[in-house]
Each structure stands twice: as structure tokens, then as C-alpha cells.
A and B are shown apart, each in its own frame.
Chain A
């Protein structure tokens, strides 16, 4: 080790900047983030190649079947998961519940998911995410919603899909919607962007930025209904930067193998021969519910605005 003669850091050292917050999401790209409800599952996920885990008390499929109010997890459970793995740990706070977010920040999670999977705590406002040093990921069903979340400080977006169903159709709909709305902005002339911002209900400056760059300023993952390697590869081919898998892994017959297979399919999303190979012999996928059979009031994607 060299010892130092002169200070080597000049200028200010900054924690919690946008670049640092968005940067962690950049490093997660091409990876799979897996829902886990205990330390044992977290270890299985890490061993299978998860790029991060999402700590929660019940996976969405159980929240859906058991009902009741779904809240932030017990801090003991989150501590246990943080202690069990060395990959990043995310945890969910209820939409608008800024105190749950304060608690999660104190616990030292690496990312907070302000999530529609939990019961909303505020039906008007989302959390002011700029106030936090820890970064946030938020769900979106369309570009306007994504830009409103970014405007509130989200450092990562995930398309919502319909969590806990194992039905990928809503995930498909939302990622296609976001991508097509970005493409539409890119082809507009400058004088059309004022109305576009109004129609998207999004800040004009962000709309102009998207029109110019042709991409979101933050990483875009997809979520909600991904249950198979082919589902994950399809999301990647549709333009997702990475994949969240919730109930799809630990509600299946062989979680460790399915998790590893989804990781491989996410990396080789454009190679059907790899997707075919890893899809063999995985046993039962999660049973699943067709989104069309879920009564509208029970659809999670409609939470958040």
C-alpha cells in the first residue's frame, strides 16, 4: 500500500447526489431483482445470480390472496436479509408513506421501492424523494406517470405490470406504452412539446429532455407478472434495462433453478437457443391468475397516479 504524502481528494465529497443515486441503478442493468421474504430466500436468490433482492413480508401473490392492508416489513426481517447477503437490498414503502421511507433509510437499505404492491398511505401525494439520501424506484404504467415520479426524485423506474398474477400481459402493455410514448416525443417538433407535456401531465423540461435524448434519464426495469425465462427475455427485447421478479420465483416448484434460469435468459435475451436451454425441466411455474379475472378494484397497477 502506498502511503500518502499529500491529500489526493480535492473539492467536495458528495453523498446522495442524483448521479450516485441513479448510478446504482445503472450498475443493476441487465440483471434480475428478486422478491424475498426471509434471509434463507435471499441467500438462494444471491446464489442464483440475483443482482439485488427486494425484502418484503409477503410476496404479491400472497398479498393478493390474503388481502388486508400491506405495509412496510418488520425492521428485524429487513436487518436479517441485509445481514444475509452482500448484494444490494431494496425494500418497499407504501405510496406516500414518507415515515416508512425514513425508517427504511435508517435501516440502511440500498434502494426504496415506493410501491403500489403495498396499500397506499396517501391517495393524493407520493413521497418527496428529493429529501432522501437513499435512492427510490417507483412504478409507472405510462410515460407521464414515469416523469411525474422522476420529477419527485425517483432515481429508477419500473413498469408496473400486474404484480402477483404470473400473467405477463400487463408488464408487456406498460413497457410498450412507455417505449412508444418516448418514441412519439422523439418525432415531435419543438412546438408540439408544450401540448405533449400537458397531455402527459408531466413537467415540460423533462418532456423536452426525453424528446432530445430519446430515453428516460433514469434506468427503466420491468416488473409485475414475470414468471418464466421467456417472460424475462421478452421484457428485455421490448427494451427493459432489467427485470424484477416477485412471486414468480418463490411461488414456483423449484425456486433456485428457476431463478438461475431467469438470470441467464435476461443476459441472453436475444438468443432463443439459450432461452430454450434454460427453460428445460424447471418444474411448475407459479400457478397464476389471468389479469382479466382480477376485478378492477383489486388491480394493483391502478394504485399511484
Chain B
């Protein structure tokens, strides 16, 4: 891996009025998110330390292993500041493991696993089973219009229950919920960052701009 751009290295204002969006870079496919956000004109920076969230306008939590992100975010003092920032209205988009990190409740978690929370949902980890059950499909997402979103589910979670204030953005044919939104928070059980369809990221950046 080559050195990552970090919030501390990046020159403030160097991208004009572009929103600065952090990508949690503890583990997972954070590079794919950085690439998509940069291509959409955001000032995308990787985030691994508490001081790096100080001047971001939004945050993406990537796909990866949620139990590892949880451990590292606590070990390096990121979890508490992130919880505070989420409560304070920081826009956050989580994909797959990122959705788990945003959920208030997790089913089939490993012992002691915590989340950042904020989304009033409970999710089930590895809801489809092992890798043989991973799949890709076209998914109607009414809020994004046509065409459907090509969605890649990799040992993906599903949203098992939805609390007050949470809007369902997409579900599978069998009714299982796989994309949700609640005020400043957005979550998908699948990975738009690996398909080239940037509409979820655009939708999130609109949220970020609206909150500035």
C-alpha cells in the first residue's frame, strides 16, 4: 500500500468548496470509497485517528470485517468521538460492515462486539450464510429512480428490524431490508463502491452538502 492521504496532510480548502469526506480506513475496501468520492469531486481523506475527524463534513464506513473495525476503532480512541459526531449530526454512510457499525443492535455478533450505533435498526451479520451464498443482483431503489442499482452482496448483513424514523430504501424480493436512511445516516448491506454505479455516493454527498 502506498501512503494514504490523511486529513492532517491535506491542505484545507485546496479543493475549493468541495465537501471533505472521511473514509474510515482501519480495514476493508476503503480505497474503493476514496476513489469514488474523489471522482465525484469530494475532498476524500482516510481516517484512522481521532484528530482526523475534526474537520470532516461527512464519513463513509467501508465494507470489511465489522468485528475488526470495532476493535480497532476502540483501541485507537475513534469510537467515542465518532459516536459523539454521529449524535451531533455528522452525515455517515456505511456499506455492509459499515451498516453494521451504524446499527444500534447486531444479531450474530462476536462476543463483546460493539457498534457506533445511531441507526435505530437491528442487523444480522452474515445473514445469507457463507461465501457460496454471496451474490449480485439488480435492485429497485425508488429514491434513486431508474435503472435499478446493481447490488453486490458479500457475506452481507440484512436489516432485521427498523425503528422509528428509519426509512427503508430497498428490499429484496423476499422482503428483507437491505438499504435504509435516517436523517444524517445512510446504510446499505451491499457494496456500490465496487460496481461503478455512483448514485448512492451522490445521494450521500447531497446529504453532506445539505448539512454543511
Contact = CB atoms under 8 A, between A and B. Distances in A.
B178 to A, nearest CB: 9
Counting chain B residues whose Cβ lies within 8 A of the other chain, the interface size class is: 35 or more
B194 A29 contact: no
Contacts of B76: 264, 268
B65 interface: yes
A225 to B, nearest CB: 19
Given A3-B175, A49-B67, A268-B48, A9 B139 contact: yes
Contacts of A30: 1, 25-28, 30, 64
A263 interface: yes
B2 interface: yes
A77 to B, nearest CB: 17
Interface stretch (B52-60, B85-93, B128-136, B200-208): B128-136
B83 interface: no
Summarize B's interface: helix, strand, loop or mixed: loop
Contact of A19 (B29, B30, B136, B170): B136
Nearest to A11: B138
B114 interface: no
B101 to A, nearest CB: 14
A85 B111 CA distance: 10
Given A20-B152, A31-B27, A267-B26, A15 B67 contact: no
Given A29-B31, A49-B72, A51-B27, A86 B67 contact: yes
B15 to A, nearest CB: 23
Contacts of B110: 46-47, 85-87
B57 to A, nearest CB: 24
Given A9-B139, A86-B108, A267-B48, A239 B2 contact: yes
A134 B1 contact: no
A242 B51 CA distance: 25
Contacts of A268: 48, 76
B3 A29 contact: no
A9 B138 contact: yes
Nearest to A89: B130
B67 to A, nearest CB: 7
B148 interface: yes
Interface stretch (B37-45, B154-162, B181-189): B154-162
A121 B41 CA distance: 52
A7 interface: yes
Contacts of A46: 67, 110
Contacts of B162: 1-2
Contacts of B164: none
Given A14-B137, A47-B111, A134-B132, A4 B171 contact: yes
A268 B49 CA distance: 10
A259 B134 CA distance: 28
A255 to B, nearest CB: 16
Contacts of A13: 135-137
Interface of B: 1-4, 25-32, 48, 63-65, 67-68, 71-72, 75-76, 96-97, 108-111, 125-126, 129-140, 148, 152, 154-155, 160-162, 168, 170-173, 175, 177, 191, 194-195
Interface of A: 1-4, 6-17, 19-20, 23-24, 26-31, 46-47, 49-52, 82, 85-89, 105, 108-111, 133-135, 236-237, 239-241, 260, 263-264, 267-270
Given A9-B138, A19-B152, 11 more contacts: A2-B177, A4-B171, A4-B173, A8-B172, A14-B136, A20-B152, A23-B191, A27-B97, A240-B1, A260-B71, A267-B48
23 contacts: A1-B161, A2-B171, A4-B171, A8-B170, A8-B171, A9-B139, A13-B137, A14-B136, A20-B154, A28-B65, A29-B28, A30-B30, A31-B27, A49-B67, A49-B68, A86-B108, A89-B130, A108-B130, A133-B132, A241-B1, A263-B68, A264-B76, A267-B48
